[in-house]
A and B are shown apart, each in its own frame.
Chain A
Amino acid sequence: MPPPDEKRRRFEAMYAANHDPVLGYVLRRTADAHDAADVLAETFLTAWRRLDDVPPDDQTRPWLYGVARRVLANHRRGERRRLALGDRLRADLADRPAGEVPADLRPIMEALDGLPERDRELLTLVGWEDLDAGQIATVLGCSRNAVRVRLHRARRRFTRELERRGALFEMPAPQVGVTEGDPA
């Protein structure tokens, strides 16, 4: 087992590199500043406690997203815990200006909301977090192939949802890197 100082250094490096993306991930999925602060605090607390389980390199961030995703799901079910750890962050985030989605993009958010949670998460992990199939597999705890198959279906359902809302976006056949190459 590495000495305590080594653990601290590892955690600090991970925290510095991933604090903003994980906060971004959470804020893109909840409008509630209190929830966001709690989820961020609990995610990094989990990472600290399970430091030896955190995968290295480009799998670290997806792993953290996966933890944040589960904590967020618990919050949505009403199983929320207020950690004293997140108090300062809660205060900072409460002051933030409310992000408004421009009117012309609102149908996109509505179409996303109309999808099952699994589809929504897949599409936003590509669109918002810019993850590839291998990284999404880490977030969701499933195989790369499953990600590709589900993503394909999710795109179709999203397009249908958009059309159902009569939203006019130019939408040629999906052609995204994720379905094509295997980056790892």
Chain B
Amino acid sequence: MNPELLIKKAAPVTDEEAAAMVRPQTRADLADRIMATAQDTSAAEIPRKVSSGRRLLLGVAVVGVTAAAAVVVTSSATPGQKVGPVQVGPPSAQAAALSFSREGDYLVVKVKDPVADPARYRREFAARGLDVDLTLEPSSANRAGSVLMMGGDEESNDVRMITAEGACGPETCGVGIKIPLTFKGHLSVVFGRAARPGEQYNTAPGDVPGEGVGLSDVQGRTVADVLAEAARRHITRIEYRYEEDGSDQPYPNGIPAAEVHEDWYVRDALAGSEGQVIIFVGPEPLG
């Protein structure tokens, strides 16, 4: 039996099984909703703001990101430690900003110094022949030290995230990355660092609803309902983002609280900054 026939036998789902999972009205509904969106033949990009906390928050004032470069904290790295064929430790006498260790065919990378100059991270990667851009963005304390986002070229698909259950509050999140020893591509990765007092979080998409805001299962509840819970939890600083049918129009920069109806529905909630919450709302319920 050739490899593909073996692989075929192990297919988790057939097309027929997939087809049976979707109700006919769901299938028709999706096509209708897609065709109801504007067709733009020039730009294939879909508005990235939809439900995307990262972009949204980037649009909001992000304070003090560059200031991080000025602060240098000496970490407790162990210079010169040897793991496999990889020299672990800083290229200079300065304490390492990153920790590298080997695990099988992978290099495991974690951030040791979350307030180092990004140039230092680049240098430490470059010293190992790696083209990796690592940056830090302010996040809730829960997400500090975890991977907010990864991107890169085709080869970067082989870079894996190390996940840890419970490392970010009740959630599972990425606490480091695993790079194949043979990696020759380009990777960019964003880790979270604890925001300074008053600093806006730049939380990534993929955050679970209500992460870090003390509001659980907000999706699909009415605005009135979620506001009542927020009040019980003494959350008073709330900003709103509008979302309907996959679009943030006509409120691309957020919707004023006065225009939000109490009988609208909540799509998502993100921690904006310490004690402040951003709620995604729309007039239609989900589903």
Query: Which chain A residues have a beta carbon within 8 Å of chain B's beta carbons?
Result: 7-8, 11-12, 15, 19-21, 23-24, 27-28, 31, 40-42, 44-46, 48-53, 73-93, 95-96, 99, 101, 105-106, 108-109, 112, 116-118, 123-124, 126-128, 155, 158-159, 162, 169-172, 174-176
Indicate if B232 sits at the interface (CB-CB under 8 A): no
From B2, B8, B243, contact of A172 by CB (8 A): B2
**Interchain CB contact under 8 A, B150 and A127:** no
8 A–B pairs (Cβ distance < 8 Å), ordered by A: A12-B31, A24-B15, A48-B34, A77-B150, A84-B245, A84-B267, A158-B3, A171-B3
Chain B residues positioned under 8 Å from A162 (CB to CB): 6
**Interchain CB contact under 8 A, B26 and A92:** yes
Query: Which chain B residues have a beta carbon within 8 Å of chain A's beta carbons?
Result: 1-19, 21-23, 25-27, 29-31, 33-35, 37, 39-41, 44, 46, 48, 50-52, 54, 147-151, 154-158, 161, 174, 180, 204-206, 243-246, 267-268, 282, 284, 286-287
Q: List the count of A-B residue pairs having beta carbons below 8 Å apart.
A: 205
Chain A residues positioned under 8 Å from B48 (CB to CB): 81
| Nearest A-chain residue to B47, judged by Cβ | A81
**Interchain CB contact under 8 A, A116 and B180:** yes
Q: Check A85/B157 contact, CB under 8 A, given A46-B44, A155-B3.
A: no
- Top 8 A-B residue pairs of the complex, sorted by shortest distance between their CB atoms: A127-B7, A24-B15, A77-B150, A24-B18, A20-B19, A127-B4, A108-B10, A117-B157
Nearest CB in chain B: distance from A55 CB, A? 15
**Interchain CB contact under 8 A, A116 and B18:** no
